[in-house]
Structure 1
C-alpha cells in the first residue's frame, strides 16, 4: 500500500493541473473583437439621449466598452458614429480611427420602427474584427417584449426571422425616440484623426485579463443570435462599409485561424494499419 500512495498522489496532481489548464484564462486576446463589447455598445445606446451622446459614452474610459488599440499606438482608438436613414430603418456605424488616412468599422447598430410605438434593434460586429459577423440583440428581462406571429405578413417585414416569436420593443429607449422625432437630423460625426472633441481623453488599453471580466457584466441583458431583426439593414450598410488595410494585415493570421479550424486524428484502418486524417472546419462569412 505504501508503494501505491505516491503513484496515486502523482495521478491526482496531474489531474488537478489538467483541470486548471482547461479553466485558465488566456493572457491575450485571440481576435481584435475580444477587446470590444457588442453588448456594452447596445447598453450605451440604450442609456444615451442622442447619437452624439452615444459617441461620447463609447469614448469614455469609465464605460469599459472599448478597449481596442488597432493601430497599436498605446492608446485606445477613438470610435466615431456615422448614421444613415432609409424610411423607417436607421443604421449607426461604429468606426474606429486607425490613422489619418484609414478607418475600420467595428460594428453597426440596426434600428427599425415597426409601429407607432414599436421598434426593434440589433448590433452586428464586423467580420474583420470578430472573425465572423456576430449579431447581438436585447433580451426580454424587463417585460417589454411582444409576441410576433412567425408567418404573419402584418407583423412587419422581419417577423418571419423572429426567434421563438418574441421581439423586444425598444421604443422606450430615449435615443430611439430622439432619432424618430420629426426635427431629427441624421448624425454624422464631425470628428477626424486630427480633429478630436475637446472632452476626449485617450487612455491606455487594459490587459486582456483585466478587461475580460469587465465586458462580461453586460452579457446578462443581451443575447447572441443567428438572424437579424432588421433584414434590410445589410443592403443599406454594404455600400458604406469601411475597412483598413493596416488592421487586416496586422490581424489576418488570428482572424483566419478563427475561421478555419483543423483537427488531426489518428485512425486505425484495416489490418491494423494506422493513418492520420485531417478534418477542416470553415466558418462561413455571412453576407
Structure 2
C-alpha cells in the first residue's frame, strides 16, 4: 500500500511539473526579420482596396507575417489605417500587441506625380527597421488598388478590429523558424513583382498620418530599438549586407578547408604559437616520410611514392645484351624428333624430252 501511494505521488508530481514547464523557441535574432516588407508590398499590389489588403496580411493560409512582438507565442494581428491629403495617401500597418496597445510596423506612401503616374514606397518603422529602410516595388501592371485610390468611391480606411476582436476568418498561428518564413515570404514577394531600394521618401508631408501613429512598444521597451539591438548598423539593409558578408566569408573558409583536406593540409583554424616546434619524433622521421608535395610542372599529377630511380645520368648502368644472363636456363633435353621423317619420292629433276624416240602409231595393232 505504501509503494502504491509513493508511485501515485511521484506520477502526480511529474505531471504537474510537465504542465508548468513551457519551452519557447526564438524565431529570429532580430524582430525585423519576421516581417518581409517586400511581401507586404506584393500583398498591397495584389489587393483591390485597403480592407482586402488587411485580409491578406492576416490570412492564416498565406502567413505573410511572423511577428510576435508581445511574446505570447502567437503571431500578432496587423491592422491597417490610412489618411490622405490631395495626391498623397499614407497607409499605416500596426501590430496589435495588447489591450489598446499598438505598434507601427511600416507605412505605405502612395503618391501621384505631375505626369499622372502613381509611385509607391513601403517605409519601415524606425524602431523596427532602422532609419531610411525604404522598399520601392516595381509592379508589372498597374494594380487595381490604384483605381480605387483615385476613383470617386475612395474613402479613408480605419480598421475596426482590436485586441480580442478579430474578423471571422482570422485564426492566430504560432511563429515558425526564421529560415522557413524567409523562404516563404520571398517566394510570395517575387512571384510577379520586383523591388528597388531608396534612400529618400517621395512623401514630403510625413505628418499626414500623425494622428494615427502608435508606438506603445517603443515606449515600454526603449532599449530594444533597432540601433540598440544592432550596433554599428543603420537599418535592416545594412544588417542583411553584414549577414551576407559573414555567409560569404564562412563559405570561403569552408571551401578552403575542403581543399586543404583534399591536399592533406587540413587545419583547425587556430593560430600557431611562434614558439611552437615539432616534436623530436617528427624531426627524426620527417626525412623518411614520402613526399606529398605536388609537382610544379603544369598538368602533372602529384606523386606520393618515393623515387628509387637514380637521378644522375653518370651513375646509370649501360645496357649490354651479351652480358645479360638468362633469367631461365633450359635443363630439359631436346628429345623431340624432327617433323621431316618421311622419305621424298618426288623426283628431284624433271626428265628431258627426246624428239628422236619413236612414237606409237595410233592405228597399228600389236601382233
With the length of structure 2 as denominator, give the TM-score of the two structures: 0.52
From 184, 202, 206, give the equivalent of 1:229: 202
User: Could you say which residue in structure 2 is the equivalent of 1:74?
Assistant: 73
CA distance, structure 2, for counterparts of residue 61 and residue 134 of structure 1: 27
User: Could you say which residue in structure 2 is the equivalent of 1:41?
Assistant: 40
The one-character-per-residue Cα deviations of 1:236-262 (angstroms, maximum 9, x if unpaired) are 23453210237852871764031x32x
From 177, 192, 217, give the equivalent of 1:245: 217
Q: CA deviation at 1:109?
A: 0.4
The one-character-per-residue Cα deviations of 1:63-120 (angstroms, maximum 9, x if unpaired) are 3421101111111100000000111110110000000121000000000122574211
Give runs of aligned pairs for residues 201-240 of structure 1, distance below 5 A: 201-217=171-187, 218=189, 221-232=194-205, 234-240=206-212
Q: Please, what is the CA RMSD of the aligned residues?
A: 2.5
Quick check: 2:79–2:94 contact (8 Å CA) kept in 1? Answer: yes
CA distance, structure 2, for counterparts of residue 223 and residue 186 of structure 1: 27
Q: CA deviation at 1:194?
A: 2.2
Quick check: 2:37–2:135 contact (8 Å CA) kept in 1? Answer: yes
CA distance, structure 1, for counterparts of residue 55 and residue 229 of structure 2: 34
CA distance, structure 2, for counterparts of residue 94 and residue 194 of structure 1: 18
User: Could you say which residue in structure 1 is the equivalent of 2:305?
Assistant: none
User: Could you say which residue in structure 1 is the equivalent of 2:353?
Assistant: none
Q: CA deviation at 1:28?
A: 4.9
User: Could you say which residue in structure 1 is the equivalent of 2:9?
Assistant: none
User: Could you say which residue in structure 2 is the equivalent of 1:7?
Assistant: none
CA distance, structure 1, for counterparts of residue 64 and residue 223 of structure 2: 20
Once the two structures are overlaid, the 10-residue window that deviates more, 129-138 or 118-127, is: 129-138
CA distance, structure 2, for counterparts of residue 43 and residue 49 of structure 1: 12
Gaps of 5+ in 1: 1-26, 145-171, 262-281
Quick check: 1:31–1:131 contact (8 Å CA) kept in 2? Answer: no
**Pair 1:248–1:255, CA change in 2 (3 A):** farther
Quick check: 2:128–2:226 contact (8 Å CA) kept in 1? Answer: no
From 154, 167, 186, give the equivalent of 1:184: 154
Larger Cα Rg: Structure 1 or Structure 2?
2
User: Could you say which residue in structure 1 is the equivalent of 2:93?
Assistant: 94
CA distance, structure 1, for counterparts of residue 125 and residue 80 of structure 2: 14
Greater share of strand residues, 1 or 2? 1
CA distance, structure 2, for counterparts of residue 246 and residue 127 of structure 1: 10
CA distance, structure 1, for counterparts of residue 159 and residue 42 of structure 2: 20
User: Could you say which residue in structure 2 is the equivalent of 1:15?
Assistant: none
From 165, 174, 179, give the equivalent of 2:144: 174
- Structure 2 residue 283 is the aligned partner of structure 1 residue 283: no
Quick check: 1:37–1:66 contact (8 Å CA) kept in 2? Answer: yes
* Greater RCO structure (CA 8 Å; 6+ sep): 1
Quick check: 2:102–2:217 contact (8 Å CA) kept in 1? Answer: no
Greater share of helix residues, 1 or 2? 1
